[in-house]
Structure 1
């Protein structure tokens, strides 16, 4: 899964910037430990990566985020940026996949991302729905999911709903909408960089409390699309755009 998502996106960034050192760092210490234990590969934290770059004599660094929304992990990126920016001649920080919302003079990252995500939507009949499972966060940035839903509706995608594992809206929030719209068949898909534990277990697991099982118990036919959005070529292109923005800001006089 990592090879198809994170590594593939990093390779696209490397290909666009030949001759530039590209380092992959993980903000999740749990994932760092898990990968080290299971595969013997030790990914650095952002702090460790920056300490190493400084020791190697690098003086200009573009930090690039592979986060989906500016939530808790992006806050970590921001903290790292503020803690390290004075230790280098110049440092820039890119935005998450969805950041700007199309207010006056801004890009509309949310609409861009929905259109890219829609390239993987199955064909829908009037009784079919797509449920997009996001992570959710206890932070105020959880409000992004309301913006995402509003823009999905504005773009005219029918019976496409966003819900979260650890935030609002939840699956329970969406269930009445399915009933109300006469839905018989649902496709579940994660809106996460990698299809990991949440996608395989919370969303599509065989346990009675998985989203798939809850929907089936409520009488729906359910399919699960278990691929991280990092596998989607259109999404990878957007991540490359975000990386290029950080690089261009670094290069700017």
Structure 2
């Protein structure tokens, strides 16, 4: 038993020695290998790529610089919300980089098709956007994400980066607005996000609560919602609970807590970039199985706040900051 435990401890020590630790490294650097590692394999180098990721194509080092920022969002068919959230955020990213081409792409191919059919508006997929940029002679691309957590959608963003980076002289990909949690001297994105989100909270009486509806994901990043709940509790914002449509915790997880605290009135609000189908129907719809209807059937008085995160100026500022990080990594020599 003792030998087995010692062996495990040695393996952990070797792993830490291989990857090193972060001490005073800028946030965009993410992680750095221990300088004692002299023969890092490609797999070890790739495993250490967290935070803002950077690829420089040695074969194209003499190509002229022609730069673009590619903004990736899941997208929405709800036109009004899209204009108030996604489009407004992209406009602010463009304003921060007035001399740079900024392109928006939607990762949901279904939404791209529906918008094309219903509105005649052709928003590209990431694959199409990068093909067009390459065709037009762009050689350096900073990819930035409008994702909230690094879940399934962000995995798509980084897959795009991995698959297309060799087509360009240099490519970077930034992080969602929540990535770092204050670990290893990194900043705490979750705490910053909670402060930004709280700017839209109503004042709460003792018997009132806010239920923040996240999307949820089968990806392990679903655990971010527990960290958000921890930071909400630490911020002493009153009775604020996170639940999700498709992940954990569920509405059923939260309701017993509301009853135990004697909550009588709740406000529902989405923790999603847009107020789309989930916010308008799953959360606030008139159907018996909507979250609003379920809570009312349990005796709660329910208000709904149907606005996407992109309508919150403090949250948009975080998205612009993430775009700036991807851009700064692109510019760094």
Interval containing the TM-score (normalised by the shorter chain): over 0.9
**CA shift for structure 1 position 184:** 0.5
Q: Residue deviations 1:93-115, cap 9 Å, x none? A: 01011111111221111111110
**CA shift for structure 1 position 151:** 1.0
Residue number among 149, 157, 170 corresponding to 1:90 in the alignment: 170
Q: Aligned pair count? A: 253
Q: Which residue of 2 aligns with 1:66?
A: 146
Q: Structure 2: state its 5+ residue gaps.
A: 1-80
Q: Which residue of 1 aligns with 2:274?
A: 194
Q: Which residue of 1 aligns with 2:252?
A: 172
**CA shift for structure 1 position 241:** 0.3
Q: Residue deviations 1:127-148, cap 9 Å, x none? A: 1100000000011111111111
Q: CA RMSD in A?
A: 0.6
1:78 matches 2:158: yes
Matches within 5 A, 1:90-169: 90-169=170-249
- Secondary structure of the 1:24 match is strand
Structure with the larger RCO, 1 or 2 (CA within 8 Å, 6+ apart): 1
Q: Residue deviations 1:168-215, cap 9 Å, x none? A: 000000000100111010000000000000000000000000000000
- Secondary structure of the 1:3 match is helix
- Distance, in Å, in 1 between the alignment partners of 2:306 and 2:288 is 18
Q: Structure 1: state its 5+ residue gaps.
A: none
Residue number among 40, 49, 64 corresponding to 2:120 in the alignment: 40
**CA shift for structure 1 position 91:** 0.4
- Secondary structure of the 2:138 match is coil
Q: Which residue of 2 aligns with 1:203?
A: 283
1:228 matches 2:302: no
TM-score by length of 1: 0.99
- Distance, in Å, in 2 between the alignment partners of 1:40 and 1:71 is 30
- Distance, in Å, in 2 between the alignment partners of 1:140 and 1:16 is 33
- Distance, in Å, in 1 between the alignment partners of 2:197 and 2:118 is 31
Structure with bigger gyration radius: 2
Q: Which residue of 2 aligns with 1:237?
A: 317
- Distance, in Å, in 2 between the alignment partners of 1:240 and 1:201 is 29
- Secondary structure of the 1:99 match is coil
Consecutive aligned runs of 4 or more in structure 1 exceeding 6 Å deviation: none
Q: Which residue of 2 aligns with 1:3?
A: 83
Residue number among 26, 50, 58 corresponding to 2:106 in the alignment: 26
- Secondary structure of the 1:219 match is coil
